[in-house]
Structure 1
Amino acid sequence: MPLRTPGPLGHLTPRDQRLFWQYGRGPTVPVPDPLVHRAVERQAAAAPHAVAAEHLGDRITYGELDRHADALAARLAREGVRPGDHVGLFVRRSIPMLVGLLGILKAGAAYVPQDIGLTPPDQLAHVVRTARTRVVLTVAEHAHRVPLPDGHLMITLDEPQPYGTRPRTRTGPDDGCYVLFTSGTTGRPNGVKVTHRNVANILLTEPGGLGIRPGDRVAQLLNVAFDMAAWEILGCLTHGGTLVIRGKDIAAAARTADVIVATPTVLSGIDPAACPRVRTVAVAGEPCPRPLADRWARTAAFHNCCGPTETTIVNTMQRHRPSDPLLSIGRPTPNNTVYVLDAGRRPLPIGEVGEMWAGGDCVSAGYLGNDALNAERYAPDPFLGAGRRMFRTRDLGRWTPDGTLEHLGRTDDQVKVRGFRVELDSVSSVLERVEGCLRAVTLKRDSRTLVSFVCPADVDPDTARRAVADALPYYCVPEHVMPLPFLPETDRGKIDKQALLRMVEERMAVAR
């Protein structure tokens, strides 16, 4: 990637100008194939009898997956699907899910995934409208749940498709690979379009490839509508692994896997002692507690990662070891950049806290039908230039002296309590250092009150409050610390903060 100095860096010292690029630019690495489905096709050609996936006793080989996906792509082409289109993939975890996903890509379209068993009908209808998915794929069992407007077509994936050769499409690296819907400030999720170039750049280079080799078993634990599920699914299939699609028992799938990709919340429910095969673990999606990272890093290569959907799964990674002084989010992944900027979008000196902006090949195409939000979150990249864009992550961070990124919460996690600014993650971090505490989350209840939740349930709340009082100013001390056997999860495997706040109010009402 070309450099443009010293213009945007003119206010920095020569040392900080040098470190801005040394720390903030990932290695420049060629990507072997910019089209994700081509990489899967290569695996099918090389080992057609290798098992691509298994689910509840069923299996499909790479050759079978490729043939079924070709037939589906041919059907989609006959129905008028063209490169650049969006096709709904409203399914549950299953082998047909994989056929649908790959068939859509082979047709030149982008897949729009939703978990049909969990997503409310109103949200499904919003996804259909926003992504303009004229064709929706599902399975017969859930067909009645699909809100299908007039003129739209539904294809059930368990309906046999006549053999057909894959259509010849002119799909390019900058065409869409998938559209994911993220939570929006208006209450309506925003559709984010992510390209083949974006996805191939993280999955087909290291460390994002997670060292997956043909025959490796990769657990598929996460909701298909979550971008980390693409890491599980496509990361496995592009490298010739076997995808172990879970049923209701998450731990059962993890026990037979070599590679696990998960949120910290999901990972905290899995015992590393019961997973002797696991050699690689990657977490992202929310801050990882240090005790959880240390526990897994003793037996596996543990990668702590960071990045919103808009920067394609993750754009920073760090191999963590229990002896490391800090649990950091590492460095930019290949062909990507990270900038720590002030409110005026000027680079800050090394060590100062600012907002992280992401640049390079990770930056997605943007939000569907939302020019105002695109203008707010995407901006021309003055450091790479050449028409490149950067993305405002709203994550706070700083560069450590050794050139790794320390994640310091989110700009929207900064709250004011009694007139003082408080970082909620900093309170939780102290609580997670209390003996026996595996997870902690801190929330603002009102303008004067913080409340914290810790697990497991035998953590002593008084000890936990004293730990915060000893480490942080008085206004950071939670009024209540509530021990719980586990923290509630959203359907994407993250901590459900709204459920926790409801729990507080219910308990307070009972106490009154």
Structure 2
Amino acid sequence: MQSPSRATPRQTWPEPLLHQLAPADRELVKRFGTGPSVEVPYGLVHRAFEAHAATAPDAVAAIDVGTGDTISYGELDRQANAVAHQLVTAGIRPGDNVALFVRRSIPMLVGLLGTLKAGAAYVPQDVGITPLPQLAHVVATARTRVILTTSAHLDRVPEGPHVWALDTPSPGASTAPEVASEPADGCYVLFTSGTTGKPNGVKVTHRNVANILLTAPGSLGIRPGWRVAQLLNVAFDMAAWEILGCLSHGATLVIRGTDIGAAARMADVLIATPTVLSVVDPAECSQVKVVAVAGEPCPRPLADRWASRCDFFNSCGPTETTIVNTMQRHDPSAIRLSIGRPTPNNTVYVLDDERKLCAIGEVGEMWAGGDCVSAGYLDNPALNAERYAPDPFLGGGRLMFRTRDLGRWTPDGELEHLGRTDDQVKVRGFRVELDSVSSVLEGVPGCARAVTLKLDDRNLVSFVTPADVDVDAARAAVESALPYYCVPSSVYAVGSLPETSRGKVDKRALLALAEAAPLAARVAVAS
């Protein structure tokens, strides 16, 4: 067994950085903003999978609901070892990146684990829906010399690198190759949407991933005998939570087909965005024990509905802070739905525009520190300089990351998520937080979900689900709760909200719908 990874040492925040706070707030800000110091059992996340493969080789590692195929831990380990040997023979070394252009499948798991065993980072994209120019951009930016895919998609990948079909049997040793990987080496590279129209590649290390997946609460209590649904796009970082979170704890991954509900009904654990979770009926998921959401703000009604049936974790964190860096188990009787506190070996700072600590209750921008902070963007020094900065609180050469999430500490030490800085818009000269409008709408009887967008410099527009929500009552609720400039000019009731490929609300599609409709018509439109 690999030696455990040492926990991030506790450090005292320098007193000069606390001077502007009232004495009562100084200790609270330090205490609330510092996650527990916990030892991580493995420095390389795939070593946890290998331990289960060694002790329980006959246990079922994955079930593909669409095809009915299954694979055991022992066989998955053997096939991944064969791929790893091929990669090493081809010259792949620690520090390299290997493209994983696949759809949800058992070969996807083989390629992912084989890449990690070879010491490289996997670079995932859904080959079935990602345009070829974007795949070519990913290959060029990540400098991948090998593409792993399946035989059905050989004609959908860019030319240039070596291309291997994972579903074609390949010879190789049954044991893992000897590779000198380190926790600081890349585990995966994910591409996030960029302001230039081209996605940015983010390098996430084994230390980052092991820290969230192998400690509580990020481990979600996953254990042998449990089933974890694999619902999300492989190119989305929360898919790593599903896949590696499951296999590193000896559970069975349930890979969905076209029917999300079918996989969810088989599972003990669901990890999803609120948009994806909203299409699953909790009444039909009696086996589900734990649910975790992240990726976008969670509507309170959705959280309450699931939390009344199982352990429900509301979480937050961008790709650059490794899936999530704050979590909170939600109680339906709680005053508020919060994103909790920092996860183990991590820190959170609520800072003002001058990067000074905000007092308890004061709204600021959340910065993340500790072992969650990823290794940065590939070939983008300007963006790295904008979003990563030396961490003056932990020191020691560590970095902190600017999340662009707005938040504040509550008096009892929880983080309230108040939207994105880019969701703070100017309407009629006033600053408006779009999520605050949506939050009021989600309190309207019968409203399950709301999204608010800026239509132009004078008008907001909101969408609510389901289609039978009383839109006049919804608009009136905002009028009674918020200033006039926060009241949407139009409220549309829709059957469902459009999704992006990563399971988030497609705001561009909603804005196009709003722009095509008469502004003054507050009518219910069916999706």
1:107 to 112, 118, 132: 118
Structure-2 residue corresponding to 1:79: 90
For residues 231-274 of structure 1, give each alpha carbon's deviation from its aligned partner in whole angstroms, at most 9, with x where no partner exists. Answer: 00000000000000000000000001000000000000000000
Structure-2 residue corresponding to 1:201: 211
In the aligned structure 1, how far is the partner of 2:486 from the partner of 2:13? 42
Shift of 1:310: 0.2
Higher mean C-alpha deviation, range 201-210 or range 159-168: 159-168
Structure-1 residue corresponding to 2:51: 42
In the aligned structure 2, how far is the partner of 1:457 from the partner of 1:510? 18
Instruction: Give the aligned residue type for 1:43.
Output: H
**Identity of matched residues, %:** 72
1:51 to 43, 60, 66: 60
- 1:508 counterpart SS class: coil
Whether the 8 Å CA contact 2:455–2:515 is kept in 1: the answer is no
2:105 to 94, 98, 103: 94
Structure-2 residue corresponding to 1:182: 192
In the aligned structure 2, how far is the partner of 1:449 from the partner of 1:363? 37
In the aligned structure 1, how far is the partner of 2:47 from the partner of 2:272? 26
Shift of 1:60: 0.2
In the aligned structure 2, how far is the partner of 1:474 from the partner of 1:358? 35
1:29 to 38, 41, 50: 38
Shift of 1:159: 1.3
- 1:351 counterpart SS class: coil
Structure-1 residue corresponding to 2:257: 247
The answer to whether residue 487 in structure 2 is matched with residue 461 in structure 1 is no
The answer to whether residue 140 in structure 2 is matched with residue 133 in structure 1 is no
Shift of 1:509: 9.3
In the aligned structure 1, how far is the partner of 2:403 from the partner of 2:377? 14
2:27 to 8, 12, 18: 18
Aligned length: 509
Gaps of 5+ in 1: none
In the aligned structure 2, how far is the partner of 1:21 from the partner of 1:506? 49
In the aligned structure 2, how far is the partner of 1:156 from the partner of 1:319? 41
The answer to whether residue 437 in structure 2 is matched with residue 448 in structure 1 is no
The answer to whether residue 135 in structure 2 is matched with residue 124 in structure 1 is yes
Shift of 1:21: 1.4
Whether the 8 Å CA contact 2:227–2:267 is kept in 1: the answer is yes
Shift of 1:510: 12
Instruction: Give the aligned residue type for 2:15.
Output: P
Instruction: Give the aligned residue type for 2:445.
Output: E
Structure-1 residue corresponding to 2:3: none
In the aligned structure 1, how far is the partner of 2:283 from the partner of 2:123? 36
For residues 20-79 of structure 1, give each alpha carbon's deviation from its aligned partner in whole angstroms, at most 9, with x where no partner exists. Answer: 211000000000001011110001001000000000310000000000000000001111
Shift of 1:5: 2.3
- 1:375 counterpart SS class: helix
Structure-2 residue corresponding to 1:168: 178
In the aligned structure 2, how far is the partner of 1:189 from the partner of 1:347? 32
- 2:498 counterpart SS class: coil
Shift of 1:161: 1.1
The answer to whether residue 84 in structure 2 is matched with residue 61 in structure 1 is no
Structure-1 residue corresponding to 2:7: none
In the aligned structure 2, how far is the partner of 1:108 from the partner of 1:328? 38
In the aligned structure 1, how far is the partner of 2:446 from the partner of 2:248? 40
- 1:446 counterpart SS class: coil
Matches within 5 A, 1:41-440: 41-55=50-64, 56=66, 57-149=68-160, 152-164=161-173, 165-440=175-450
Instruction: Give the aligned residue type for 2:466.
Output: P
Gaps of 5+ in 2: 1-9, 522-527
TM-score, normalised by the number of residues in structure 2 = 0.96
Shift of 1:158: 0.9
Shift of 1:502: 1.1
In the aligned structure 2, how far is the partner of 1:397 from the partner of 1:507? 34
Shift of 1:10: 2.1
Shift of 1:507: 2.3
Instruction: Give the aligned residue type for 1:75.
Output: Q
Shift of 1:360: 0.2
In the aligned structure 2, how far is the partner of 1:507 from the partner of 1:342? 39
Shift of 1:167: 1.6
Shift of 1:168: 0.8
In the aligned structure 1, how far is the partner of 2:29 from the partner of 2:490? 42
In the aligned structure 1, how far is the partner of 2:167 from the partner of 2:499? 31
For residues 336-382 of structure 1, give each alpha carbon's deviation from its aligned partner in whole angstroms, at most 9, with x where no partner exists. Answer: 00000011111111110000000000000000000000000000000
